[in-house]
Amino acid sequence: MAELCGVVGIGQTKYAPSRKDVSMAGLLREAAERALEDAECSWKDIDAVVIGKAPDMFEGVMMPELFLAEAIGGAYKPMLRVHTAGSVGGSTGIVAASLVQAGIHDRVLTVAYEKQSESNATWALSIALPFSVATVAGAGGYFAPLVRGYIRRSGAPEDTGIRVAVKDRQNALKNPYAHLHLEDISFEKVASSPMLWDPIRYLETCPSSDGACAMVMAREKLAERTPRKPAWIHATEMRSEPTFFSGRDQVMPRATLDNAKSLYKKAGITNPRQELDCAEIYVPFSWFEPMWMEGMLIAERNQGWKMTYEGATALTGDFPVNMSGGVLSSNPIGASGLIRFAESALQVRGMAGAHQVDGAKKALGHAYGGGSQYFSTWIVSSAKP
Amino acid sequence: MREIAVVGFVQSPSLRREPNRNEVEILVPVIAELKKSVGITNDQIGFVCSGSSDYLAGQSFAFVAGLDAVGAWPPVSESHVEMDGAWALYEAWVKMQMGYADVALVYGFGKPSMGDLPLTMALQLDPYSMMPLWPDAISLAALQARLLLENGHLTEREMAERAVRDRRNAKSNPFAQLKGDFEVEKLLSEPMLASPLRKHDCAPISDGASGIILAAGEKAKELCKRPAWITGIAHILEPMELGVRDLTRSRSSEIAAHRAGVWRDKVDAAELSAPFTHQQILVERALGLSAKTRVNPSGGALAGNPLMAVGLSRIGEAAQQSWRGGADRAVAHATSGPCLQQNLVCVLEGN
Amino acid sequence: MSEQAAQAPGPVEVMLAPVELEYTFSAGQSASRFLRAIAQGKLLGQRCPVDGRVYFPTRGSCPQHGVVIDGEPVELKDVGTLVTYSIVRVPSQNIPLQLPYITAQILLDGANTILMHLLNCKLEDVHMGMRVKAVWKPRDQWTTSVANILYFEPTGEPDAPYDSYKEHI
C-alpha cells in the first residue's frame, strides 16, 4: 500500500550559538535552498511543505510557520506544522515522508529549525506553573537523576559519559556545519569541566544553537532520476508513552523498546548491530549514547556502555554513532531530530564528506523528546527495500 | 486511495470559561466516551494525533498532558501538530492512506479563556513589523470587513443574517455556547466593537475539546452503521501579510475546496469555522455553496469557537449530519491564521 | 556631533520586542482538592480505580489507563525515600535558590508515584535510598501550594532497600 519514498536533497545551515546574520526566514531558506540545490529542483517543484519546531516560546512567535509562509515556499500550498517536543525533527521527517508514501504528493520539502537565541530557552523549558515548586533548571536538571538511575542499574564506569563527549566533539571537527568545533577537546578537558547537574558536566552537555535542516523527499520514479543517489526510506516508526505514571521506567521506557522492535520488523532487520552500518542518535547529554544503544536494542540491557568503552561507536569503530558530532555538538532543539535523520541519509548516499563511514549502506536516524517519552526513528538505505 | 470514514465524534460543551477543569480533565471524558460510543479500545487504535497550541495554554509542551487522557499504555504511535485538530485529522488520514493504521484517534483542545485571546493571537503576526504594534485579532478582521463593505462585496445586513442563522441553528445543539432567536435589526442597532464589526459579528471565546475516530474500509463498516466517508480533503496556506493577498475572497479555501472535489456533487450541509460573519460569507462563496445547502446546522464557529478543536468539531458535526441521515454529502471547513490565512476543506459522504 | 552620529547607520541586526502575556491558570478539580489539603498540612493521594495504585500528587486521571481518579483520598505521611537526585549548579530565573541545590525524586511512604522536590542535605551525604522527611514552612505561611514544603531532609534512619524503590528508577 505504501509507495516508496526517497530523500533526494539535504540542506543544513551552519549551527551557531546565535545566527545574528539571518532572520528566522533567512535561516530556513539557507537550509531549504541547499536542499533544493542538492535535489536539483526549484521551489515550484515542491508540492507541500512540512515544518517542525519545538515550543514557540523559544522564539516568542506563536505558530511562526504562518508568518514564514512565503519564506518557506508554502504560499498557496499545503503546509503542516509538527510539534512533538524534542523528537519533533524526527516526527517532521516522518510526516513529510508519509505524504509521499501515501501517494498524495510527488515532492515534499521538510524543514525543521530553531532560532532559540531570540528568546530564552532555559526559561521556556522550565516555566514555573502556579501552585507548584520549580525544581528543574532546564532539561539537564530533568535528565540527570535518570542518568544516575542508569549508572546504578548498569554499573557503568563513571567516565562513560566523558568518553562519549570526547568522541562526538572529535567527530564534529570533521563536520563544517557543527556548532562546537572544540579543537582541543580531550578526556581531561571534559573531566575537569564544571559539574552542572550531577553527574552531567558542562562538556557532557549539548550547546544551545540556532539552526535549520531541510530535506526534499520524492516518490520513487522521481527519486530514481535525481542526479545524486537517493536515500530510500525503508521504515519509519513512532512511539509515545505518558510522562508520568505509577511504575513507569523512566530510564529505559517501554516506548523506546516497542518502537525499536516495530521499526526493525518493518525494515526486515533481525540483528540491528550487524545489519545497520551506523546510526545518528539523539544524545543531548553524553550518557544517552549507551542508554539509547540499549533502548534501540543494539546493545543488551545494561551493556550499552561497553560499546562506548570498546570504541565500537567511534567513527572508525564497527558501529559508528553520531558521526556528525550529534546533538552534543549542535542543538537547535526543533531541528536536531531532523538533523539525525538527514545525517543518516547523507551517510547512505555517500555524501557525508569527512565524517563519512566507508561503505555505509543502511543507517538509523533517531530522535526522542519530552520526558524520554516520545520516540521517532527511521531506517534509510542506498538500496531499495 | 483507501476509503476512510469518520465513525465517531464527541465534544465537550463550548464554554466561555471552564472554571474548574484543566485541559486534561476536559479531555478525559471526551476520549473515554468517544472510545465507548464507537466500541473500541486502545489495542485497536493504530495511530493517535492531536492539535493544540502552547501559547494558548501559556506553557511549553502543553500538549504532553493531553496524552494522559488517552491512556497511552502500552505505548502508542502518536503525533501532534501545533494546529487545529482538523490538521491532526489530516495527518492521521495520510497515515491511514499509506496503510500504517486502520483506526485512528484524533483530538483537539484549548482553553483560550486563560489568556487575553485577541491579544495572544497578535503573537502570530510578523514579529518585526506587525506584532510589536499588538494589533488584536478582532481589529485585523475588522480591517478586512471594512474592505469588503466599502467595495460592495457584502453588507452589514448579510453579516448580521449569518449571526442570526447560526444562533438559531445552535438552539438544537446542546454543546453550543451562543444560541437563541435574534433579529437582524436589533443586532444592527448594537454599538460597534471594532468598527465595522459588532459583537455579534465575532465568534465567542470558548474553552473546549473534541475527538474523532477514523476507520478504514471494512473496519469502518464494522464500527459504524453509516460511516461518513471522507471523499476529499485538502488544505492550503496563503501569505500572512494583509497587503499581499486578496482579502475580498478566500483564495486558499477556493483551492482547497477544488482539490477536495466539493464541486463534484450537491452539498447538503456545510459546517464552517470562520470566526467572523464577513469571513463566513467569504468561505460560503469559496466553497461554491448553493442556497440549498444548510450552512452551520450546529451553529458553527459563531456559536462556539473552542480554538484548536473548532475545526475538528466542524468535521465531526458534518459527519453527524451524515449519520443522522440529514445529509448525504456534507462539507467541513477549518481555518487558521489572521483573516482566513490557512484553510482546510473536507468532504464527507454518507453513501 | 558625536562620532557615532557622524557615521552612516549600519543595518539593523537585532530588534527587542518585549512580550508580556497574563494567564489565569486553573489547577483543575483534582489538583484543587490536593492543594486545599496541603494548605492544611495534609498530603492527599488517590487510587487509580483500575490497579489501586496511589497517585501523589493527584492529577484527576490515571495516565496509564485514561480513567478518572476521584475516589476516596489516601492521606500520606510526609516521610519517604529518596529515589534519585541531581546536584544542580546551573542558575535559572525561575528558581530563586542558592547554588548548588539538590533536585530530588521522592517516593513518599504509601505512594506509588514520585514527587519532584528539593533536598536539603550535605552534598557529600546524598545518595539513593536515603530516608527523608519534609520540612514545612511556618504554618502561618501556608497557602495552596506544594511550596508549603520548603524541602526534604534526611531522617538519619537506615536506607530503604533498593528493591523498595527500584521500580521507580
End-to-end, the C-alpha distance of chain B in Å comes to 17
Of C24, C30, C65, the CB nearest to B25: C30
Structural domain spans, chain A: 5-119+208-224
CB atoms closer than 10 angstroms to residue C32: 18
Asked if C91 contacts C32 with a C-beta cutoff of 8 angstroms, the reply is no
Q: At what angle do helices B310-323 and B85-97 cross, to 10 degrees?
A: 60
Contacts of C53 in chain B (CB under 8 A): none
In a domain? residue B342: no
| The pLDDT of residue A122 | 74
Of A134, A144, A250, the CB nearest to C95: A134
Identify whether B174 is preceded by a cis peptide bond (ω within 30 of 0). Answer: no
In a domain? residue C1: no
The reply to whether C35 and C97 lie within a common domain is no
| The pLDDT of residue C7 | 67
The reply to whether C87 and C160 lie within a common domain is yes
- Specify the length of chain A in residues: 385
Chains near C, with 3+ CB pairs < 8 A? A, B
> How many domains are contained in chain C?
2
ipTM: 0.96
Name the average pLDDT for chain A: 95
The reply to whether C46 and C116 lie within a common domain is no
| The pLDDT of residue C9 | 82
Residue C131 neighbours by CB under 8 Å, 6+ apart: C79, C80, C81, C82, C154, C155, C156, C157, C158, C159, C160
In a domain? residue C145: yes
Contacts of A79 in chain B (CB under 8 A): 235, 237, 342
User: In 3-state terms, what secondary structure has residue B283?
Assistant: helix
Supply the pTM of this predicted model: 0.96
Q: Which residue has the cell 441521515?
A: B325
In a domain? residue B38: yes
Backbone angles phi, psi at B190, to 5 degrees: -75, 155
pLDDT reading at A232 higher than 80: yes
| The pLDDT of residue B64 | 87
C62 and A131: CB-CB below 8 Å? no
- Chain B residue with minimal CA distance to C66? B71
Residue C72 confidence class, pLDDT cut points 50, 70, 90: confident
A57 and B64: CB-CB below 8 Å? no
In a domain? residue B102: yes
What CATH number should be reported for the domain holding residue C166?
Answer: 2.40.50
CB contact, 8 Å: B64 with chain A? yes
Of residues C162 and B161, the one with the higher pLDDT is B161
Which helix (DSSP H) or strand (DSSP E) does residue B342 occupy?
strand B342-349
User: In 3-state terms, what secondary structure has residue B308?
Assistant: coil
The reply to whether C166 and C118 lie within a common domain is yes
The reply to whether C118 and C141 lie within a common domain is yes
The reply to whether C108 and C156 lie within a common domain is yes
Chains near B, with 3+ CB pairs < 8 A? A, C
Give the lowest-confidence range in A118-127, A217-226, A323-332, B284-293: A118-127
User: In 3-state terms, what secondary structure has residue B125?
Assistant: coil
Of residues A296 and A125, the one with the higher pLDDT is A296
Max mean pLDDT range (A115-119, A235-239, C61-65, C96-100): A235-239
B28 and C64: CB-CB below 8 Å? no
The reply to whether C42 and C85 lie within a common domain is no
In a domain? residue B37: yes
CA-angle at A132, arms to A130 and A133, nearest 5°: 120
In a domain? residue B121: no
The reply to whether C94 and C169 lie within a common domain is yes
| The pLDDT of residue A247 | 85
Asked if A11 contacts A174 with a C-beta cutoff of 8 angstroms, the reply is no
Between residues 156 and 185 of chain B, which touch chain A (CB distance below 8 Å)? none
Mutate to test the interface with A, among C92, C142, C168 (most CBs of A within 10 A): C92
- Residue B8: which domain range? 4-116+205-223
| A49, β-bridge pairs | A79, A109
Nearest C-alpha neighbor of A150 from the set A278, A286, A340: A286
The reply to whether C159 and C105 lie within a common domain is yes
Q: For A182-289, list the strands marked E by DSSP.
A: 195-197, 200-201, 210-219, 231-240, 278-280
In a domain? residue B198: no
- DSSP assignment, residue C98? P
Low-confidence ranges of chain B (pLDDT < 70): none
Give the lowest-confidence range in A255-259, A268-272, B57-61: B57-61
The CATH number, out of the four listed (3.40.47.10, 3.40.50.2000, 1.10.760.10, 3.40.50.300), of the domain defined by the range A5-119+208-224: 3.40.47.10
| The pLDDT of residue C71 | 84
Rg (CA), chain A: 19
| The pLDDT of residue C6 | 56
| C-alpha torsion sign, points A129, A91, A35, A336 | positive
- Residue C52: which domain range? 26-76
What CATH number should be reported for the domain holding residue B82?
Answer: 3.40.47.10
Q: How would you label B131-160 residue by residue, b for 16+ Cβ within 10 Å and e otherwise? A: bbeebbbbebbbbbbbbbbeeebbebebbb
User: In 3-state terms, what secondary structure has residue C160?
Assistant: coil
Between residues 7 and 36 of chain A, which touch chain C (CB distance below 8 Å)? 20-21
The reply to whether C103 and C61 lie within a common domain is no
When pLDDT is averaged across residues A209-223 and rounded to a whole number, the result is 97
CA-to-CA dists, residue B231 to B43, B97, B261, angstroms: 27, 12, 8
Q: Which residue blocks in A158-253 are alpha helix, DSSP H?
A: 160-172, 187-191, 220-224
C59 and B68: CB-CB below 8 Å? yes
Residue A313, min C-alpha distance to chain C (Å): 26
Of residues C21 and C5, the one with the higher pLDDT is C21
- CA separation for the pair A93, A342 (Å, rounded): 9
Residue A262 neighbours by CB under 8 Å, 6+ apart: A237, A239
The reply to whether C100 and C118 lie within a common domain is yes
Residue C89, min C-alpha distance to chain A (Å): 5
Contacts of A64 in chain B (CB under 8 A): 127
Chains near A, with 3+ CB pairs < 8 A? B, C
In a domain? residue C10: no
A127 and B60: CB-CB below 8 Å? yes
Give per-residue pLDDT as tens, A25-50. Answer: 999 999 999 999 999 999 999 999 99
CB contact, 8 Å: B192 with chain C? no
Of B28, B119, B131, the CB nearest to C66: B28
Q: For chain A, list the strands marked E by DSSP.
A: 5-12, 48-52, 79-82, 107-115, 195-197, 200-201, 210-219, 231-240, 278-280, 362-369, 374-381
CB contact, 8 Å: B136 with chain A? no
pLDDT reading at C1 higher than 70: no
DSSP C128-146: TT-EEEEEEPPGGG--SSG
Asked if A172 contacts A180 with a C-beta cutoff of 8 angstroms, the reply is yes
A55 and B240: CB-CB below 8 Å? no
> How many domains are contained in chain B?
1
Mutate to test the interface with A, among C22, C56, C88, C152 (most CBs of A within 10 A): C88
User: In 3-state terms, what secondary structure has residue B192?
Assistant: strand
CB atoms closer than 10 angstroms to residue C10: 6
Of residues A98 and A128, the one with the higher pLDDT is A98
Residue C60, min C-alpha distance to chain B (Å): 7
